[in-house]
Structure 1
Amino acid sequence: MSKTETDFSRRRTLVLVGSVSMLFITGGGMFMIVVALKEMAVDFGWPREVPSLAFSLQFIGSGFGGLIMGRIVDRLGFGAPAFLASIMVGSGGMLVSAIDSAWQLYAIYLVMFGLSGQGALAAPALANIARWYTRHRGRAVGIVASGQALAGIVWLPVFGYVMPEIGWRSMFFWYGLFSLCIMLPLCFIVYHKPPVQQSDGLERTTSGSIKSLKVPKISDSTLQKGLCFAIFGCCVAMSLPLGHLVSFVTDRGHPIQNAVGVQSTMLLCAFISRALLLGLLSDRWGGIRALLIFASVQAVMLVVFTITYQLWVLYVVAALFGLGYGGLFPVYAVAIRDHLPITEVGKRTGVVFFVGAVAMGFGGWIGGYLFDQTGSYTLPFLIGAVFNAGTVILVLYLMHRLRGFLPGRLAET
């Protein structure tokens, strides 16, 4: 291996490690308010919908942030969004510790944790790492995306232990300070820009001339629209167990400790899916085919949830659902890199992930609304499965239009 290749491999590895570390740390801000929700509501005399809305605003903000930051990644690289997110998440945590009204909490979670926090990291980090890797692109994207899944596994019990000891205000403050101290140095690791590669997806001879290749029977804009509709369907379905699984399990007559255990099992399997299965499937068969597999598993398990009552079966179904949903969101970054121009990966990933963020918010809301109307989660889970089935059908259609170009036009570049 030449010195140039060694330097490239070292920079690429540093960017990967730095990216997954930043997503892991910022994931704490996402889950912190879940732990503090009840205590916040009691301290201020709020209904629980106030901190719950702040949690939802974070997703909406991150969607809009991804739209903006995706373009910045295409032009300037990942360093600038990473620096912005480090400042905003750290400062946001410390500011939450001093709030005295609901609008302050909303503003911090919408703008600092959402728009310029998760919005500057989630989609941009996945789009950026997809441009660094070729042969093992899916594995790299999965490892980076696993940072958020790992955050749910690690931060939830940490916050659950710390908050009763020091209170929610001190917990937010020290988390914010910790984030600043760790994430700012990481910015100097992830600032490297990926190498410039051919963006037209055409095969070239050794002399530089372009070989004659067939053109896919689908335009770039049509493919992106298809991915937007697909992610909407699967994210509506995904958000229902994510936001309501603990309540669903307790409604089945099981104690809260078991319900939390079922949720933790789902998150653990989601981490395994992102860290291992995403790379294994997408590197072997391409992002579109991997998307079909993950979406199909999620749809089936969502239906099975509605007919499951025994605790051990709930654990099994939650584990399988986690394996499906864990790979779903990040696999879109692989599919975009496989089939769309590399110079527009950041922008296009931001657009698709924005639709996904809106779908997550809609799914979480519709689950609670339909439960209030029916007194059961059966109808919302089945509606989520219908949305998910629409994703499966749409992905099959995209595979048909892309036949002859799977796993991807750029899969071997």
Structure 2
Amino acid sequence: MPLLETKTVAPGGFDPGEIDSGYAWWRLVLTLVIGTVACVGNWSVVVLLPTLQLEFETVRGGASLPYTGTMLGFALGGVVMGRLADRVGIVAPVLIGAFLLSFGYIVAAFTTDIWQFTALSVVIGLGSAAGFAPLISDLSHWFRKHRALAVAFAASGSYLSGAVWPLIIEHFQATQGWRATHVGIGLFVPLVMVPVALLLRRRLQTTNYLQAEAATAAARNELGLKPNALQAILVVAGFACCMAMSMPQVHIVAYCGDLGYGVAVGTQIIALMLGLGVVSRLASGALADRIGAGPMLILGSSMQALALLLYLFFNSETSLYVISSLFGLFQGGIVPMYAVIIRQFLPPREAGVRISLVLMATVLGMACGGLAAGYIFDATGSYRLAFLHGFFWNCVNLVLVSWLVLWPKLRRQRQAAPA
């Protein structure tokens, strides 16, 4: 078996009426809709960052706190809802997420200081979590031949949300104000999420899980790592890659404002970046089904590092559009590959919580990286060291994923070597 190959064949095969079926692809479409709507929480605060700084009379680091709160809620919510999805299916987490988003956005519209807004941002993050890790875990069970592509589709809801929502939010906050915009989001989200969630009530037969467990046990034996050891490596790698990823995604709107290009330009750039991130995720999923998730991780991490370096040398308006486009194309496929690896090597009945733990690490990386970049800017008056900070963490990720891909080969060579 090729290193970290995403294709596995379970003994006896899977029920052709469920796995890779037409219904599975229909479920993929519904998953993408929910993810796109639910993940509004990840991006609304990015657009509002300059506005919040003025509204609540705080520094850039203080204005970054709501984003950190959102990500902390998103991280915790992913694990809790992932565990719930393992036990009762995906419908309950999505319905809970819809309620939390509605409550969080409407109440946040009436806050009077940055700490109140940050507290409500945690609630919003908890709600948005239902649209990411639990959905990825659920959809991964419905595919075998095209699992990496399916997981990439599910993960693309977050980026598609980032491509659509910032433009909508920027328009309405300019015309109606950010508080009215928050109320509108709080009313809209459950109107979409609740009925779509009810269409996902169908669950897989038990025999599919039993067959998948046998396949993952065999793959794990060949890999030569214990489940918790692999989990730990993926957690650290996920944290590191998103410490790097957070700088452009969280601060590009504020960065464009500082350079004199305006918030509208920054909003367009982040929408372009995340829209191309969707393209990247789908392309990487299709490619990973051929070459394996591990090699795809190495490729994505290497290209992300290159894009971060480019930000250090170019900051004209045109160059920011170009570099941000490249950044979106380079990094979009990284995070879904962690989920693909987990589904190949770790027990499927634990997929919800295990995928959520790794994605929690990626979210914490985004939260910590975004906050660190804000305080680095406050200390230096420039984002230059913030980009270098992200590049350092990217190197940590690249070392870990490269070792993970090379380890099985090194292990086999050591075992084959004469005593």
For Structure 1 versus Structure 2, the TM-score category normalised by the shorter chain is 0.7 to 0.9
Partner of 1:98: 110
Matched, 1:147 2:157: yes
Letter of the 1:381 partner, please give it. F
Note the 1:291-330 alignment, pairs <5 A. 291-330=297-336
What amino acid does structure 2 have at the position aligned with 1:161?
Answer: H
- In the TM superposition, residue 399 of structure 1 has moved relative to its aligned partner by 0.9
Alpha-carbon separation, structure 1, partners of 2:367 and 2:262: 27
Cα separation, partners in 2 of 1:102 and 1:310, compared to 1, 3 Å: closer
Q: Which residue identity is paired with 1:142?
A: A
Residue number among 235, 249, 252 corresponding to 1:245 in the alignment: 252
1:63: Cα distance to partner? 0.8
31, 54, 61: which one pairs with 1:19?
Answer: 31
Residue 279 of structure 1 is matched in structure 2 by 285
Task: Name the structure 2 match of 1:367.
Answer: 373
Deviation at residue 294 of structure 1 after TM alignment: 0.9
Identify the residue that residue 171 of structure 1 maps to in structure 2. 181
What does residue range 213-292 of structure 1 map to in structure 2 within 5 Å? 215-249=222-256, 258-274=265-281, 276-292=282-298
In structure 1, the residue matched to 2:350 is: 344
1:113 is the counterpart of 2:120: no
Equivalent residues of 2:242, 2:366 under 8 A apart:
yes
**TM-score normalized by the length of structure 1:** 0.86
Structure 2: how far apart are the matches of 1:12 and 1:41? 45
Q: Residues 83 and 261 (structure 1 numbering): CA distance in 2 closer, same or farther, change over 3 Å?
A: closer
Structure 2 unmatched runs, 5+: 1-14, 412-419
What is the identity, as a one-letter code, of the residue corresponding to 2:291? W
Distance 2:83 2:142 in 1: 17
Structure 1, unaligned runs of 5 or more: 204-209, 406-413
Partner residue of 1:382? 388
Deviations 1:244-266 (A, max 9, x none): 22444566675655544433332
1:70 aligns with 2:82: yes
Q: Which piece of structure 1 moves more, 394-403 or 304-313?
A: 304-313
Mark the CA change 1:188 to 1:22 in structure 2 (over 3 Å): closer, same or farther: same
Distance of 1:23 and 1:246 partners within structure 2: 23
Match for 1:33 among 45, 50, 55?
A: 45
Q: What is the alpha-carbon distance in structure 2 between the residues aligned to residue 125 and residue 222 of structure 1?
A: 25
- Tell me how far apart the structure 2 counterparts of residues 63 and 153 of structure 1 sit (CA, whole Å): 21
SS in 1 for 2:303: helix
Distance in 2 of aligned mates of 1:321 and 1:105: 30
* Structure 2 counterpart of 1:182, from 172, 176, 192: 192
The CA deviation string for residues 175-199 of structure 1, in whole angstroms up to 9 with x for no partner, is 2111121111111112322343324
Task: Confirm or deny: 8 A CA contact 1:16 1:129 kept in the other structure.
Answer: yes
Residues in 2 aligned to 1:42 and 1:376: alpha-carbon distance in whole angstroms: 19
Contact 1:227 1:352 in 2 (8 A): yes
| CA root-mean-square deviation | 2.9
Q: Distance in 2 between matches of 1:211 and 1:261?
A: 47
One-letter amino acid matched to 2:121: Y
1:218–1:401 Cα contact (<8 Å) kept:
no
Q: 1:145 to 1:47 in 2, by over 3 A?
A: same
The answer to whether the 8 A contact 1:238-1:360 is kept is yes
SS in structure 1 at match of 2:363: helix
* Secondary structure class of the residue paired with 1:226: helix
The separation in 1 between residues aligned to 2:148 and 2:232, in whole angstroms, is: 22
Q: Within 2, Cα distance between the matches of 1:367 and 1:43? A: 21
In structure 2, the CA distance between the partners of 1:247 and 1:29, relative to structure 1 (3 Å rule), is closer
Give the paired residue count: 394
User: CA-to-partner distance for each residue in 1:225-262, whole Å, 9 max, x for gaps?
Assistant: 11111111111100011122244456667565554443
Cα drift, residue 295 of structure 1? 0.9
Please tell me the residue identity of whatever aligns with 1:226: I
Letter in 1 for 2:371: W
Say if 1:381 and 1:35 are closer, same or farther in 2 by CA, change over 3 A.
closer
Q: Name the CA shift for 1:213/1:160 in 2 (closer, same or farther; >3 Å).
A: closer
